[in-house]
Amino acid sequence: MRVVHLTPSFLPIIGGTEFYIANLSLSLKKYGITSEVISLSYKRRCETVKILKQDSYYGIKRIIWPSCYLGIIRLPLKTHFLPFHVEILKKHLNGFSIIHMHDDVDLSFPFTARKIKRPKVFSCHSLPYWMKYYRFNTLARELLRCSADLYHVFSQRDMKFLLEIGIPEEKLIVIPHGVDIETFKPKDTKTQRIINDVHIGFLGRIVPQKGIITFLKAIKLLKNHNTLNIPIKVSIAGPIVDMKYFHKLVEYVRIHQLRNVVFYGPVADAHIFLQNLDIFIFPSLEETFGLTLLEAMACGLPVIATKIEPVSKIVLEGKTGFLVPPNNHEVLAEKIRILIEDDNLRKNMSIFARQVAENNYSMEKHCQKILTVYQLLLERVS
């Protein structure tokens, strides 16, 4: 079986969709499935190339297809790019068993591939951000509705979104995210650090939707009340997508003299960053799923996350962590204080978080479910 993944962007551009495609392709390789990734962005989102470029990522062939960025013209159909050499592209795509399209943020590939007679699955990664757009934009909605034979969503909430716009239930399948539990695992006991402080952290894109300012306000509150019986260290890592917001965070830290807060920017090895934490904070205001939340749990971290869907379906209240209201730094500070001061609770949550990640969210199980989808599509056309 040969599978092609079509995506607006791929690594080294950093994002949840990009990492998902990479992890899925590597997992499929273990089952003897040949994967190829074709994207339209080069080193930055919307940066295009005029001449085809190709290389490999851990043995996975990746191609940046020549195209141009459409700018404001993209709005009616939500097609951000105009691929060049379309007939050559179509001929190339016809050589695959399965066409796996990714990310409803852009419909350039679904538009280009709409008449290709190959089984198609569409993984919808960004529905919470774009459903309002699809509800009111008839052309884009109709293009999305006729893009694939089967639509893969990561939560029941996203399934409801697609049902709302008229995609029939028999064309929808819910498969939650999976995490590489061999890479994301608790730190080896031989290399565990001596606990002189409690290390709290966040990992994700630096954008307002992630609620990082609420995290900092909670740290300020803990500092001002001075009720902790152990020092804390705060680490914030991830690609800086919104520079204005990042400067706002840095300024907040400076004004309130939060000397224990460090910004790392993008980290090459997310698992190492997570393994050095004691508590993971996930204060998002909205999420498509929350893959870094799963990665933190797989690393054996108790988590404090906002009570939003689908995050509230992942975190087991009082067992793997705590759920708090969005934008509420006072409740967040109180839950952080509880975990800092109760070492036994922290350890028990750590063990259970790892178990939940292993049992329910391993990449191996996710990959097996995706393979079942591929086989189902191939059976329909045989």
The stretch 231-236 carries a mean pLDDT of: 94
* Predicted pLDDT at 249: 98
Could you give the residue ranges of the DSSP H alpha helices within the chain? Answer: 16-30, 86-93, 108-112, 127-136, 138-145, 156-164, 212-225, 243-255, 270-275, 291-298, 311-314, 329-341, 343-360, 363-381
Q: What does the pLDDT read at residue 227?
A: 66
Output the pLDDT for position 333: 97
267-281: average pLDDT: 96
Q: What is the DSSP string of 247-290?
A: HHHHHHHHHTT-TTEEEEES-S-HHHHHHT-SEEEE--S--S--
Q: Which residues pair with 200 in a beta bridge?
A: 234, 279
pLDDT band at residue 329 using 50, 70 and 90 as cut-offs: very high
364's CB contacts (< 8 A; 6+ apart) are 27, 178, 181
- Which residue has better confidence, 381 or 248? 248
At the top level of CATH, the class of 189-360 is: alpha beta
CA distance linking residue 162 with residue 176, whole number of Å: 16
> Residue 273: is its pLDDT beyond 70?
yes
Predicted pLDDT of residue 194: 58
State residue 118's pLDDT score: 96
Over residues 107-118, the mean pLDDT reads: 96
* Topology adopted by domain 2-178+362-381: Rossmann fold (3.40.50)
The arithmetic mean of pLDDT across residues 322-340, rounded, is 97
Tokens 């008229």, residue? 166
pLDDT tops 60 at residue 190: no
**pLDDT in the model for residue 200:** 97
Please give the Cα distance from 69 to 1 (Å, whole number).
32
| pLDDT at res. 288 | 82
Q: What is the mean pLDDT of residues 22-50?
A: 95
Is the pLDDT confidence value at 191 over 80?
no
What pLDDT shows up at residue 78? 87
Nearest-angstrom CA–CA distance, 371 and 364: 11
Q: Which burial class, exposed, middle or buried, applies to 302 when counting CB atoms under 10 A from its CB (0-12, 13-18, 19+)?
A: buried
Question: Given the DSSP bridges, would you call strands 60-64 and 53-57 parallel, antiparallel or unpaired?
Answer: antiparallel
pLDDT grade for 258, boundaries at 50, 70 and 90:
very high
% the chain with pLDDT above 70: 97
Q: Provide the residue type at 249 as one letter.
A: L
Average pLDDT over residues 79-92: 96
Distance CA 189, CA 274 (A): 15
The answer to whether 149 touches 155, Cβ cutoff 8 Å, is no
- CA separation for the pair 132, 75 (Å, rounded): 13
Give the pLDDT band (50/70/90) at residue 18: very high
What average pLDDT is seen over the chain? 94
Residues paired with 35 in a beta bridge? 3
The yes-or-no verdict on residue 233 having pLDDT over 70 is: yes
The pLDDT value given to residue 16: 85
| pLDDT of 189 | 65
Could you tell me the pLDDT band of residue 15, with boundaries at 50, 70 and 90?
A: confident
Q: What confidence score (pLDDT) does residue 192 get?
A: 61
170-183 residues labelled b (16+ CB within 10 A) or e (exposed): eebbebbbbbbbee
pLDDT band of residue 193 (cuts 50, 70, 90) is low
Query: If pLDDT is split at 50, 70 and 90, which confidence band does 334 have?
Result: very high
Domain with CATH 3.40.50.2000 in the chain: 2-178+362-381, 189-360
Mean pLDDT of 306-332: 96
Tell whether the model's pLDDT for residue 228 goes beyond 80: no
Return the pLDDT at 239: 92
**pLDDT (0 to 100) of residue 17:** 92
